[in-house]
Structures are given as C-alpha cells and as structure tokens.
C-alpha cells in the first residue's frame, strides 16, 4: 500500500500502479519453484535461503529513491526474484525440522506471518500522520532487516535430496511438466483454483489504497489501519482452519477459503464507509486463512517428499501467476468503475472455488 501511495504522489496512473504488481508477480511465478528446486537438490536448505535474502534486502531500499515508474519496476523485479526464496524454503525447513504434525506446523507459520503483516500496518498507520510515505518506507525497511538476523538461527534439518541434475530452466518448469504428480488426486486443480483465487485477490488489492482514499474518502492513515484487520483476522483463521485440516478434507477447506475471498471482494464493491471496509477486510482475512492452510496441506500430502519445496514453490508460483493478470485487469476495469472491477474479481474467485471443489479429490 505504501508503494501505491508513493507512486500516486509521483502522478502515476492507476494502470501503471497495477502494472507494478503484474511485473513482480511474473518474476515471482518463475522464481519460487526455481528456489524450491535448488533447495531440494542441496544438502543445506538454510544456505539456499540466506544468500538470496541478503541480495533482496540490499536492493529493497532503492524503492525509496525511485522517481519514475520504470525505477519501481526494476527494483521490484530484482527484489521479487531473490525474496521469492523465502516462502517455499522456509515452509519446507519447518515441516522437516518440527516434531509437530504438518498441519500444525503450517498453520503456526501462517499465523505468525499474518500477525507480522498486521503489526506492520499498525505501525505504519500512526507513522503516516507524522512522516512522509518515503520515510515510512525507510523505517519499515530497517525493521524488516531483522529477518536476515533470524534466518541465521533457522534449523538446518536433513531432508531427502532430489538427485537428478537439472538446468536452471528445468528447475523453473519441472514441476509443471511432472504429469504423474499433478494427476495424483487431481492436484492440478488445486494449482488452477489457486491461480484464479490469486488473480481475483491480486486485482482486489492492487489499487485498494487509491480506492479507499479517493473514492471512499478515507485518509492514508485510516486506510492502512483498516487494512490491518485483514492479517489480524487471518491469525485465528489460520489456527482454526489449520486445526480443521487435520480433521477433514484439505481441499474442501481451500475451496471454502476461495469462496470467502470472493465474498470479501463483493463487500468492497458496496463499501461506502469505514465499517463496510472493515467487514470486507475481515471476511477476506478469514478466507485467506482457510485457503492457504487447505492448499498447502493438500500439496504437501500429494507430492514426493524429496520434491516438497519445489511443489510448494509451484503453489506460490500459481498464485504469483494469478497476481500477474489480476492487477493488470483491475487497472483497466477501474478506469471504468471500481464497482465493476471488484465484481469481476469476485466472480473469478468464486469460479476458482467451484473448480477446486469439483475436481480435486480427497
């Protein structure tokens, strides 16, 4: 949201702001399975995690000095490529090093992640009342550097290595070409449903900062504060649905999360005050908790153990690929009407929920 505010201050169009998410998502869709595949092949996942993170955080502060749209695009591409190592490799490390059940490990990771996102927005909201957007970006960057410090303390548990030697291009696409794995319980449908869900959610939030300030009439500080309801509601959602995954079908829970995400977009379409915005964020947050715990567990249950990070990376890739098109479509539709944009995004997510429910098998 800070990037949206900053680009708007520099007179960027809605389409250009949405294009930033499209470009970074395109890079992320290739980078996530790439880093996951590398960590599957290397003895130490931790070493694979650390070096790209250092490079990513060396590039991140360049956002603050960017003045042209192509500056934001370039920084975003480099940062996204290297930071994409985090999600698939961290998830694999925790699953392999924890003594807890997989579903509990996953919902704990997701809950902590969401709490951090919510806390970040709580910090940003008052900051925007006293400092500029650029200074808020710089302060949050300094806080985020702690991730590198804590990554050094990450465990480095043994894992079953993938022994086949592949080129970097094969690492990016080998999961997509693995038809035997994708056919197991129709795993492909979970990836496709995740793509549609992320296409819709990426479009929903690509211009949300502009929508809340310029259409609903909220201040920047209010917009960020209300946005914290999304990740904070994700925390109990992760815990509840992560526990429920161990009791019922992970694919049903993922589909339900996609449905709630679509409902959240519908609520944004009719939001005319801060109460409706708060409700929309809350519903969307609950939906994400159900979706990501269901989808991550479904993938973990249906892929080879020695290729876990690669296929978790493909899940991130499918979501990133959806975010490639969502913001682009949102930028075009919002030029006509924000209501139309939110409605289209909702329909896309509901379609993803239906596809997942019908085709994925238990």
Domain ranges in the chain are 2-159+167-359
Task: Supply the pLDDT for residue 331.
Answer: 83
Cβ neighbours, 10 Å, residue 332: 14
Alpha-carbon span 189 to 361, nearest angstrom: 9
- At residue 18, the pLDDT reads 77
Dihedral angle of Cα 251, 257, 259, 265, to the nearest 10 degrees: -150
Q: How far, in Å, CA of 210 to CA of 214, rounded? A: 6
The answer to which of 106-115, 126-135, 163-172, 243-252 has the lowest mean pLDDT is 163-172
For 295-327, give the DSSP string.
HHHHHHHTS-GGGHHHHHHHHHHHHHHHHHHHH
Whole-number pLDDT of residue 168: 80
Residues of the chain by 3-state class (helix, strand, coil), percent to 5: 85, 0, 15
pLDDT at 317 over 80: yes
Q: What is the structure's pLDDT at 195?
A: 95
Distance CA 65, CA 133 (A): 12
User: Which has the higher per-residue pLDDT, 200 or 321?
Assistant: 200
Among 52-66, 303-317, 346-360, whose mean pLDDT is lowest?
Answer: 303-317
Q: Is the pLDDT of residue 164 over 80?
A: no
Q: Is the pLDDT of residue 22 over 90?
A: no
Burial (CB < 10 A; 0-12, 13-18, 19+), residue 359, is middle
pLDDT at residue 193, rounded to an integer: 96
Residue pair 163/289 in contact (Cβ under 8 Å)? The answer is no
Q: To the nearest whole percent, how much of the chain has pLDDT over 70?
A: 100
DSSP assignment string, 141-189: HHHHTHHHHHHTT--------------HHHHHHHHHH-HHHHHGGGHHH
Residue at token pair 């290297």: 82
Average pLDDT (169-179) is: 82
101 Cβ contact list (under 8 Å, min separation 6): 246
Query: How much is the pLDDT for 62?
Result: 94
The predicted structure's pLDDT at residue 357: 94
The fold adopted by the segment(s) 2-159+167-359 is Growth Hormone; Chain: A; (1.20.1250)
Q: Is it the case that residue 56 has pLDDT exceeding 90?
A: yes
Mean pLDDT over residues 140-150, rounded?
A: 91
Nearest to 35 by CA among 319, 321, 312: 312
Alpha carbon distance 65, 98 (integer Å):
41
Mean confidence (pLDDT) of the chain: 89
pTM of the predicted model as reported, rounded to 2 decimal places: 0.79
83 closest CA partner among 50, 52, 42 = 52
Q: How far apart are CA 359 and CA 362, in angstroms?
A: 10
- For residue 104, give the nearest of 234, 305, 241, 287 by alpha carbon: 241
pLDDT bracket for residue 59 (50, 70, 90): very high
Q: What pLDDT, on a 0 to 100 scale, did the predictor assign at position 42?
A: 87
**Secondary structure in 3-state letters for 176-191:** HHCHHHHHHHHHHHHH
pLDDT band at 179 (very low <50, low <70, confident <90, very high): confident
């Amino acid at each position: 949201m800070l990037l949206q505010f900053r680009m708007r201050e520099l007179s960027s169009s809605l389409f250009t702001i949405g294009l930033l998410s499209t470009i970074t998502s395109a890079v992320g869709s290739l980078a996530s399975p790439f880093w996951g595949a590398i960590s599957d092949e290397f003895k130490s996942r931790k070493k694979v995690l650390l070096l790209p993170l250092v490079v990513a955080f060396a590039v991140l502060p360049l956002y603050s000095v960017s003045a042209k749209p192509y500056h934001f695009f370039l920084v975003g591409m480099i940062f996204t490529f290297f930071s994409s190592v985090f999600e698939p490799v961290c998830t694999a490390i925790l699953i392999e090093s924890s003594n807890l059940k997989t579903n509990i490990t996953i919902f704990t990771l997701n809950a902590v992640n969401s709490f951090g996102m919510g806390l970040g927005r709580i910090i940003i909201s008052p900051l925007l009342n006293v400092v500029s957007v650029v200074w808020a970006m710089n302060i949050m960057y300094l806080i985020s550097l702690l991730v590198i410090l804590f990554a050094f303390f990450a465990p480095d548990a043994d894992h079953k290595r993938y022994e086949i030697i592949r080129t970097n291009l094969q690492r990016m696409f080998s999961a997509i070409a693995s038809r035997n794995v994708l056919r197991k319980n129709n795993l492909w449908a979970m990836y496709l449903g995740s793509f549609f869900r992320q296409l819709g959610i990426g479009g929903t939030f690509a211009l949300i900062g502009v929508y809340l300030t310029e259409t609903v009439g909220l201040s920047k500080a209010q917009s960020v504060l209300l946005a914290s309801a999304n990740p904070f509601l994700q925390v109990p959602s992760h815990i509840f649905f992560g526990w429920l995954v161990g009791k019922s079908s992970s694919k049903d829970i993922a589909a339900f999360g996609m449905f709630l995400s679509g409902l959240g977009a519908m609520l944004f379409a009719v939001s005319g005050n801060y109460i409706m915005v708060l409700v929309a964020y809350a519903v969307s947050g609950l939906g994400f908790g159900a979706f990501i715990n269901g989808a991550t567990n479904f993938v973990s249950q249906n892929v080879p153990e020695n290729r876990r990070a690669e296929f978790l990376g493909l899940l991130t890739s499918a979501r990133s690929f959806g975010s490639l098109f969502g913001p682009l479509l949102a930028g075009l539709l919002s030029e006509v009407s924000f209501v139309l944009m939110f409605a289209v995004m909702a329909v896309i997510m509901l379609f993803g929920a239906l596809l997942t429910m019908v085709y994925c098998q238990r």
